[in-house]
Chains A and B, each alone.
Chain A
Amino acid sequence: MRGHIDAIGNPGAPMHTYLDFEKPLSEIEGKAEELRAMARSNAEMDVEREAAALDAKAQSLLASLYSDLTPWRKCQVARHPDRPHTSRYIADLFTDYTPLAGDRGFADDQAVLGGLARFNDRPVVVLGHEKGANTQGRLTHNFGMARPEGYRKAVRLMDLADRFSLPVVALVDTPGAYPGKGAEERGQSEAIARATEKCLSIGVPMVSVIVGEGGSGGAVALASGDRVAMLEHSVYSVISPEGCASILWKDAGKMREAAEALRLTAQDLATLGVIDRIIPEPVGGAQRAPEDTVASVGIAIAELLAELDGTEREALIAARRKRFLDMGANGLAA
């Protein structure tokens, strides 16, 4: 279901992971790379003009592919392994990052990272789901699927923020909470419920950004803040399209139809009034230009935090609760 790994063998070129709908693109980019590789081994050859023409063709194809992504393609892009993940955002946007670990009860869950940091010099608490960047990382971080300990760590960090009047920045990127035996035994439901409750009761500003996948309750637990933003091609849904398809269509292969019906794109969620802002992604998605993406997210966080600055604790909590109480009153007609 995920995009096939189709890296073009050239040590000089960046390795791309192409999604299935990017196949025509991979062929053009592959050809351009091949030409350049030939030219490198044969100094007489001048291929630059042809290669540049191919590049231009690839660029325009990329732009047209990404200007009109179907909801299912957005899901694929949101899950792209080369998209910047929480660690990258923390590393690039925050200083003095001091990771804090553990739920003080059972374990430290690496699917949720977080700690103290400075955002534009201002002390904050930052936290988020981490999916991991390579095989080892994905195992360490359990593909961003948190166990109860991850949510309990988040609760601890939000409490800390509340006590010391630090704003909370949460980065959401999870397929969902981990459906495992131990997770259930240790109270996955209760842990998620408590984290959501904590989001709704802290007296400090909380900004959540969905940077990839916002998977169901596991996402809500970190996304029930004052402001919620989404990257242009990220998704946020009550259930994965595959899960929905297998329940309602009785066929997991109908994920395209399910993705369509669920209205899980940033654009639909903005229309429904569930999110406050869409953060534009570079042409070809966040994975093509992680640096620019991270910078855009940084600007959005700064602006959203500024909107909340100077609001008293009680007013902040009251407005946050009202935001959720009023949500969805008008459906898509909003």
Chain B
Amino acid sequence: MNWISNYVRPKINSLFSRREMPENLWTKCDECGTMLFHRELRETLNVCSNCGHHMTLVPRDRFISLFDGGVFTEVPVPPATPDPLNFRDGRRYAERMRSAQRDTGEAEAMLVAEGDIGRTPIVAAAQDFSFMAGSMGMYVGNAIIAAAERAVTLGRPLILFSAAGGARMQEGILSLMQMPRATVAVQMLKDARLPYIVVLTHPTTGGVTASYAMLGDIHIAEPGALICFAGPRVIEQTIREKLPEGFQRAEYLLEHGMLDRVAPRQDMREELITITRLLMGLSPEVKGELPAPAPPSAPETKPAADPQT
């Protein structure tokens, strides 16, 4: 016990650990306004305990809750040409990218991983709405292709969680070309007779809906998710009338035959395990407490440079 260990070290530790603390312990539900405590939100997977509203869940958190024991290996995605059009509006696209990367700590708007869910090997891809509204550019296209190729190599189903404001305008025509590119990726899975399951989360719109998000073998949506091609505001401007309550929401799409199911986030994992095991011809899931899976080690099947545990 001395001055160093009693005073300096705690001070230094607190300087470093301060960043680990959530900046806001309370989050306001954007639907009902209830203040929700961060620990409770982590437990409910960002679903409001008062009104059931499904708030954005970033890919990394989603994967931690999805994969057995929170263990998954990132599938590397080939980098895309940065700012291919040298685009600028008020701000440079390159700058917008940098600040999105700073804010989210992620490289881009999609994360791809492999791992087990209920002892069922899968590949998963999730779009990050907090990264430039999840918009689809070259990188997202590359990520979907990498995910499909990995699924085909390993003979696993691909589960894709969509969330996007649409195409990334700053990549112009190249963002539009991700519609056919991602469609080719889906065709790789279909040719290999592997299940492609889309989980549509809030919001899934524009060119994303009009390509890979609507080409799944199974479409499941989270409750209340906005799913559309043209957004409600554009439609209201075109037809000059108010749209009905719930228009373009998950339940409405289910009613109109565009989805197979609407499932709350807390049940999604079980749904996905049951469906993938049925489609892959596997025995029913063994329920109950199982030992945590071995940490990823073998480099030939786990090529990611930075395994996430």
Q: Which residues of A contact B (CB under 8 A)?
A: 177-181, 183-190, 192-194, 196-197, 199-201, 216-217, 220, 224, 236-239, 244, 247-249, 257-258, 261-264, 268-269, 272, 274, 321, 324-325, 327-333
- In the complex, B58 has a CB within 8 A of chain A: no
CB distance from B151 to the nearest CB of A (A): 16
Which residues on the B side are within 8 Å of A187 (C-beta)?
A: 214, 256-258
CA distance A258 to B172 in the complex (A): 10
User: Which one of A187, A238, A257, A332 has the highest number of Cβ atoms from chain B below 10 Å of its Cβ?
Assistant: A238
In-complex Cβ contact of A327 among B85, B89, B177, B211 (8 A): B177
- In the complex, B117 has a CB within 8 A of chain A: no
Which residues on the B side are within 8 Å of A197 (C-beta)?
A: 183, 186-187, 215
Q: Are A329 and B81 in contact (CB under 8 A)?
A: yes
Q: Which residues of B contact A (CB under 8 A)?
A: 81, 83-90, 138, 145, 167, 169-177, 179-181, 183-184, 186-187, 206-207, 209-215, 227-230, 234-235, 238-239, 243, 247-248, 256-258
User: Which one of A190, A193, A237 has the highest number of Cβ atoms from chain B below 10 Å of its Cβ?
Assistant: A193
Which residues on the B side are within 8 Å of A261 (C-beta)?
A: 85, 87-89, 172
Q: Are A249 and B89 in contact (CB under 8 A)?
A: yes
Q: Are A177 and B229 in contact (CB under 8 A)?
A: yes
Q: Are A321 and B184 in contact (CB under 8 A)?
A: yes
Q: Are A264 and B180 in contact (CB under 8 A)?
A: no
Q: Are B256 and A238 in contact (CB under 8 A)?
A: no
- How many residue pairs link A and B with beta carbons under 8 A? The number is 168
Q: Are A238 and B167 in contact (CB under 8 A)?
A: yes
Which residues on the A side are within 8 Å of B212 (C-beta)?
A: 193
Q: Which residue of A lies closest to B234 (CB)?
A: A179
Q: Are B169 and A262 in contact (CB under 8 A)?
A: yes
Q: Which residue of A lies closest to B178 (CB)?
A: A328
Q: Which residue of A lies closest to B78 (CB)?
A: A329
CB distance from A144 to the nearest CB of B (A): 14
Q: Are A192 and B210 in contact (CB under 8 A)?
A: yes
Q: Are A190 and B258 in contact (CB under 8 A)?
A: yes
Q: Are A217 and B181 in contact (CB under 8 A)?
A: no
In-complex Cβ contact of B214 among A179, A189, A268, A332 (8 A): A189
Q: Are A184 and B169 in contact (CB under 8 A)?
A: no
With A201-B187, A261-B89, A274-B177 in contact, is A238–B209 under 8 Å at CB? no
Q: What would be 10 A-B contacts, judged by CB atoms less than 8 Å apart?
A: A184-B230, A186-B256, A189-B229, A200-B184, A216-B176, A216-B207, A217-B207, A217-B211, A238-B173, A331-B85
CA distance A332 to B87 in the complex (A): 11
CA distance A224 to B183 in the complex (A): 10
Q: Which residue of A lies closest to B188 (CB)?
A: A321
In-complex Cβ contact of A324 among B184, B207, B238 (8 A): B184
Which residues on the A side are within 8 Å of B180 (C-beta)?
A: 196, 199-200, 220, 224, 324
With A179-B238, A193-B183, A196-B211 given, can you name 15 additional A-B contacts, CB distance below 8 Å?
A: A180-B238, A187-B214, A189-B210, A190-B214, A192-B229, A216-B167, A216-B176, A217-B176, A220-B176, A220-B179, A268-B173, A321-B184, A321-B187, A327-B177, A332-B86
CA distance A217 to B84 in the complex (A): 20
Which residues on the B side are within 8 Å of A196 (C-beta)?
A: 179-180, 183, 210-211
Which residues on the B side are within 8 Å of A325 (C-beta)?
A: 145, 181, 184
CA distance A216 to B230 in the complex (A): 11
Q: Which residue of A lies closest to B81 (CB)?
A: A331
CA distance A189 to B216 in the complex (A): 13
In-complex Cβ contact of A272 among B173, B186, B187 (8 A): B173
CA distance A94 to B173 in the complex (A): 30
